[in-house]
Every structure is written in C-alpha cells, then in structure tokens.
Structure 1
Amino acid sequence: MMQQTYIGIDIGRSSTKLVAAWDHDGSIQRKNLIFPSAVSPAIEITDATTAQHARSDIVAVGERTFFIGKTALLQGKDEMTGGLRDDWAARPEHMALFLGSLHKLRLGGVPRVDTAILVLGLPAKHYASQHKQLAKQLSAQAPGCTVRLRPQPLGPLMRALFLDDGRENPEIDPDNERWAVIEIGQYTTDFALLEHGQVIETASDSGPGMRLAAEQLIRELQNHRGISIDLPEATEILEKKVVRHFGESINVEPLVLEAVRPLANVVAQKAEQLFGQSVRKLNGILVAGGGASLIQPHLAAQWRHARLVEDPRFAVAEGFCRFAIAYHRSQAAVNVGQGSKVA
C-alpha cells in the first residue's frame, strides 16, 4: 500500500487541534499539536529573536498576511471574538488557521502534508448548508490533498468506532448499538445520535457552547471579586480555575463551578429534546470537547452512562484522523475487491 499521511483538524473557536499520522516502515507515526485560534493582520517585527519565534505563526491568504496562534495574541492583541459568528468558516481568518495548521505540521517534521488526507468538521447545525462550499475552498488552497468534511460531533464517535490504526473497534458494534455524542466547544455544543449504524438526522443539532459559561464567569468575577476580565482570559480561567490579579494567583474554582451551571442545564435540556426516549436505551453518551470535564459531571448526575472520553479536547481531531486512516484503507480494499463499511 502506498505510504500516506492522515490529518484530523479541529479548528475550534478558542484553540485549533491537529492530529497527524503517517505510514512509516510498516507502522504508524503520530504527532499532536494545539495552538490558540487567534488571528490578526501581520505587522513587521523588528526584534530578530521575536521575529524568529513568530516564523511558524505567519501565513498568507491571498494577498493578505496574518499572524496566528500565540503571535496573534501577543503582537496582534486578538481577543478571539471573530470566531463567534455563524459564518466563521467562510472567513479568511478561518482559512488562515487551516493553512497555518498545515504550515506548522510541515515545520514539525510531518511528511507528505501536501498530499495528505485531511478531515475537518463543521458545527452540526451548519454542516448541511456550508460543507460543500467549504470543501471547495479548502481543496483549492490545498490542491494536492484529499479533503473531507464531517459534522463536528462525529469526531468523538469516530474515535470510538475506530482504533488508532484505522481498524474497526471490536468492542463496539455500531450496527446493533445506540450511541450519542455531546461535544462541548467554545461557540457551540454539538449533538449527534447513532442508532443501528445510522446517524439520526433529527438529533444532529447545535446549542450554546462554553462562551455562555465564560460570559457568566465575567459577571461572577466582577460581582463577587471586583475583577474585570475579557473573554479570552475567562476561557483560560474556566480551564485553570485561577485568576492572576496584581501578582497574586487567586483560586476561583467555586465561581467557575457556579458559572458553568447555567450552561450545563441548557446542554442537558437540549440533549433531552434531541435524544428523547432514546436516552434510556443508549449504550453510552460520549462527552467530548474543551468544556467536557466541566459539563460531564452535571450530565452524569442525570444520565449515569454519560462518560468523559479520553483526552476530550483532542477527541474530534483524533477521531477525524482515525477516520482518514480507515477511509484510505477502505479505498484500498475496494480497489482489490474486498469492500468496506467506511462511508
């Protein structure tokens, strides 16, 4: 079989996660990367050392040049609010993160990036209306690659269905089982339901994401501690549960837990609406995404089979990477007449 590179990309509204795998001497090598989904117009950096550090964070989209990642945060002072909109995937900032992802993987030593199989996601509620146009745009920018778009919440499901070498997971029988996914991102929480091998269309939708909790935390800190923070800082505090204030590290875990509660209620209500009576009959609910560790305990209190997936922040990118491997191997099997279950 021809050696191939497989890349799962999760361009989230707060961070971009990449999982790359490639064939090497009969085995599969892997590399994970994560960087902030910050984008700003590039400016000249006069300090030579700083300019060298920024080298991996500079990307051109058409005639425009952008900083991405940490450089955009530090030099461009990006507050990462540009991604909090429904048409974000069609904007040049999203393309900058896509092209920047490939650039970072090349610099990181991943081979054959320019001919890789790339799998990316869109929020469930936007997939039907946006995936064809986005796939066309991405393919035009990466003409040597095979680009596949999938609904975002299918990433954690693919992670469960396939092993890390692309083989089907023998512990799960998708044709005879029922699984749900709740993927909690920054801008949206995405839902998916698989019953007897079929994704249920009416259960694929999106609701509010961790931005709701971040905005609540901003209010909590102002009301209870008199501390003013912005959205990127609130997002970071939700994860670390500590705020830096005039040289002091203040533990604010009680405020974080309180800020998360309204979102947890909204997510549970949306899941109940979408999954209905199927919830009781599910083999499990896979809870993934950057906000999963904060929301899953609330869901498990209501549904004891709601479980946190391993490494939930990378679950979408990992699942898409595994799907890319499975897709490639299924195509090879079809070429030799063996058939495949991978669509």
Structure 2
Amino acid sequence: MKTSIAIDLGRSAAKLVAYDGANDRREMLLYPSAVIPAKPLSDEGARARAMGETVTVNTKSYYFGDTAIRQGHDDLLGGLRDDWFATDHHRALFLGGLKKLTEAGVPDVDSALIIVGLPSSMYASHKAQLAKVLSALAPQATIKVMPQALGPYFALAFDEKGQETERIEASGMYGAIEVGQYTTDYALVIEGDPIDDAYGSCSGMSKVAASLQRILQQKDYSVTLAEATQALATKQIKNFGKVVDVWTEVTAAVEPLAEEIYMKSREVFGSYLRKLDKIVLAGGGAGLVAPRLSSEWGTLELVPNERFAVAEGFLRYALAMTTIPEQRGKSGFLGQLFRIA
C-alpha cells in the first residue's frame, strides 16, 4: 500500500500523521512552526543537532522547529499573515516535515499521497496555487489540498484504517469548527456534500495569546507571544524561577474569541444550525472555547486528541481513498466524500 501523509501546518505548530503501508505502522510528528535563516554555529554538538532541522528553499538554508526556537528566538510571528502559505517559511516547514518522516524510517515519502489543509476562507481561491507550489517541492508525490475544517469531520467519518464509521450518517447534516492559531475554520456537510457557501473563517488563538500578553503586562509579567501561546495550554508561566498560575487570566483572554466563534457559527451555518445532527469541534484551542459553545448546543462533540484532529482526519480520508478505490466513482456516501476536493 502506498505511503500516505497528512500535514496540518499550523501557525504555532506543525502536525503530521503518516501511514507506512509497507509495514502497517503510523508515525506522528509535532514541532514548532518556527523558521529562521540558517547561520554558522560555533558549537559542534549544536551543529550536529541542527542538521536534522535544516532545509533548503530557493537556494537558501533555513532552520525550522526547535532549532529555530533555540538559535533564533523565533516568536512564531512569521505565520500570522494571510499569505503565509505562499512564503518560504511555509515551504521550509513542509520540507522539514518530509525530512523528519524520512529520518523516522517512513518509506517512499517523496512519492506519497500527501494531503495538506488551507483555511476554509482561502480554499476556493488558493487551493490550486498551493498544490502547484507543493508539487514543485515534491514532484513525485500526489498532492491534495483540502479545507482545514473537513479534517475533524473525516476523523469521525472514518476509522484508523479508512473504513466508514457509524458516527457519521450518510443522510446527516454536520457542522465542523477547527480552532487554530491564526484562524478558526468552518465547514458544513449535508448528506456527504460540502456546502461551498458555508466555508468560512474568523479569528484564531493568536488573538487570545495577544490578549493574554496585555493582561499579564498589566500585572507586571512581560511575556513573549510564544510564551503566551504556551500558557494557553499549561495555564502557567515561569517568572524568575517561580511557576505562576494564570488560569484566571487565560479564562478572561478566551472569552471574547469564544463569543466571536459562536456568532460566526450562526452566520456560517445559518438556518441549518438548528437542524445539524452534530457540530464537530477540534483544533488546539477547542478545549478552551468548548464550554461557551456547549452551553448553546447539545450536539457539540469535541474530537479526541483535538490538536491532531485535522491531520488525523486527512490521513483517514487518504486511507479510504487508497484502500477502497472502487468506491470513488460510485454514488452514495463514500462516493460523495471522494469528490469533496
């Protein structure tokens, strides 16, 4: 079976899930979405460690991941822009993921089926451009670009082997919300068909991190955006050797975004909202906004391992494509899903 790779290049972290069909095994990767130009390092050990996180894009060498954080103090600001997918920063993270998978022993990475996501609001206008850029970086691979928010939907529609589950009904109506770092993305699927007019995006967790920075600054804690982003997960910061609990501050910072996501949901899903069988919630910020959304909707379901939900869902879709190819051209639920992108 062909190697399949799903890539969620988030603005705070890159998440990859690969299936090695030859050995029936999975490989999962998580590394910071940090990229800086490579530079000479004086320490031999540091140079050796940096080799595993160095790639070349357009003849220029870049450090990515933990190496970029350590050697360049990258504050994860490079991805906070609408055209990020068209930058060398994005390309470096993509090539870095393929390099890490190869070093982890995943075979045929260069010729794999690779699924990559785009923010829902950019999907229609930029999917062809992104596919062209990534195909130039991995010319032997099969590249498929999909809307971010469909990943969590696929995570429920298929199991780990790419088989249909009973968690999604062929005749059902489903909303999907993926709370990412830069954007929160939406998708609506009715009887297996995505609704073009219901792809949408609003603010993501970077807005919360910036708010948390300001709140902590008022309390004389000066933190970087990267520190604030980490504090959203840990509810703690370090301050001169002491661990400071910031749960209250995180809760206050999250409230405006949770309300924005709720209001945007009403706009995107419109009259379908009350008829949805399930609203699927995922992404790194899902757990923080879930209380606000669940107070309104009893149909809300938080996808397990929500930070990896996009990549996991894309991989399950890829496995369905490669393990049940006879379904692609048929009518019915699977046939509809295979025509989504």
**TM-score of the superposition, structure 2-length normalised?**
0.95
Aligned positions of 1:3-42 closer than 5 A: 3-24=1-22, 28-42=24-38
Residue of structure 2 in register with 1:43 after alignment: 39
Q: 1:298 to 1:333 in 2, by over 3 A?
A: closer
Determine if contact 2:321/2:328 at 8 Å carries over to the other structure.
no
Secondary structure at the aligned position of 2:260 is classed as helix
Q: 1:215 to 1:340 in 2, by over 3 A?
A: closer
Secondary structure at the aligned position of 2:52 is classed as helix
Alignment partners' CA distance in 2, 1:47 and 1:203? 52
Give yes or no for the alignment of 1:98 onto 2:98.
no
Deviation at 1:137, TM superposition (A): 1.1
Give yes or no for the alignment of 1:263 onto 2:257.
yes
Deviation at 1:164, TM superposition (A): 0.9
Deviation at 1:266, TM superposition (A): 0.4
Determine if contact 1:8/1:118 at 8 Å carries over to the other structure.
yes
Give yes or no for the alignment of 1:247 onto 2:241.
yes
Deviations 1:156-185 (A, max 9, x none): 1111111111111134223x1011111000
Residue of structure 1 in register with 2:178 after alignment: 183
Deviations 1:252-301 (A, max 9, x none): 10110111000000000000111123222111111100000101111001
Once the two structures are aligned, what percentage of the paired residues are identical?
Answer: 43
Secondary structure at the aligned position of 1:46 is classed as coil
Residue of structure 2 in register with 1:292 after alignment: 286
Point out the more displaced range, 299-308 or 249-258: 299-308
Residue of structure 2 in register with 1:59 after alignment: 55
Alignment partners' CA distance in 1, 2:113 and 2:153? 19
Alignment partners' CA distance in 1, 2:134 and 2:20? 21
Q: 1:107 to 1:228 in 2, by over 3 A?
A: same
Point out the more displaced range, 48-57 or 235-244: 48-57
Alignment partners' CA distance in 1, 2:167 and 2:262? 27
Secondary structure at the aligned position of 2:159 is classed as coil
Determine if contact 1:161/1:168 at 8 Å carries over to the other structure.
yes
Determine if contact 1:159/1:315 at 8 Å carries over to the other structure.
yes
Residue of structure 2 in register with 1:314 after alignment: 308
Secondary structure at the aligned position of 1:181 is classed as strand
Determine if contact 2:154/2:313 at 8 Å carries over to the other structure.
yes
Q: Which runs of 4+ in 1 moved over 4 A?
A: 332-335
Secondary structure at the aligned position of 1:295 is classed as helix
Determine if contact 1:179/1:283 at 8 Å carries over to the other structure.
yes
Deviations 1:11-39 (A, max 9, x none): 000000000012136xx311111000000
Residue of structure 2 in register with 1:331 after alignment: 325
Q: 1:198 aligns with which of 186, 193, 198?
A: 193
Alignment partners' CA distance in 1, 2:167 and 2:290? 23
Determine if contact 1:155/1:315 at 8 Å carries over to the other structure.
yes
Deviation at 1:330, TM superposition (A): 3.7
Q: Which runs of 5+ in 2 are unaligned?
A: none
Alignment partners' CA distance in 2, 1:249 and 1:78? 23
Alignment partners' CA distance in 1, 2:7 and 2:167? 26
AA in 1 matched with 2:42:
T
AA in 2 matched with 1:236:
Q
Point out the more displaced range, 278-287 or 90-99: 278-287
Secondary structure at the aligned position of 1:298 is classed as helix
Aligned positions of 1:144-293 closer than 5 A: 144-174=140-170, 176-223=171-218, 225-293=219-287
Matched residue pairs, number? Answer: 334
Deviations 1:115-164 (A, max 9, x none): 11000000011111111011011111101111000011011111111111
Aligned positions of 1:71-110 closer than 5 A: 71-110=67-106
Alignment partners' CA distance in 2, 1:109 and 1:300? 41
Please tell me the root mean square deviation across aligned C-alpha atoms, in Å: 1.5
**TM-score of the superposition, structure 1-length normalised?**
0.94
Alignment partners' CA distance in 1, 2:56 and 2:204? 30
Q: Which runs of 5+ in 1 are unaligned?
A: none
Q: 1:199 to 1:332 in 2, by over 3 A?
A: closer
Give yes or no for the alignment of 1:70 onto 2:72.
no
Alignment partners' CA distance in 1, 2:284 and 2:189? 22
Secondary structure at the aligned position of 1:20 is classed as strand
Deviation at 1:57, TM superposition (A): 0.7
Determine if contact 2:156/2:167 at 8 Å carries over to the other structure.
no
Point out the more displaced range, 320-329 or 261-270: 320-329
